[in-house]
Amino acid sequence: MGCLPPNVVLRFPKQADRLLISGLLDGATELAGRPVLVDVPVGRGHVLLYALNPVWRHETWGTFGLLLQAFLYHARLDLNWPPTPQK
Q: Where are the domains of the chain?
A: 8-76
The yes-or-no verdict on residue 20 having pLDDT over 80 is no
- Which pLDDT score, from 0 to 100, does residue 34 have? 92
- Which pLDDT score, from 0 to 100, does residue 64 have? 78
The yes-or-no verdict on residue 23 having pLDDT over 70 is no
The total of other beta-carbon atoms located within 10 Å of residue 62's CB is: 8
Mean predicted confidence (pLDDT) in 50-73: 78
Cα-flanking dihedrals φ and ψ of residue 36, to 5°?
-100, -40
Mean predicted confidence (pLDDT) in 28-36: 88
Q: Which of 20, 38, 37, 21 is nearest to 29 (CA)?
A: 20
The band of 35, judged by pLDDT with boundaries at 50, 70 and 90, is very high
3-state secondary structure of 24: coil
Mean predicted confidence (pLDDT) in 19-40: 81
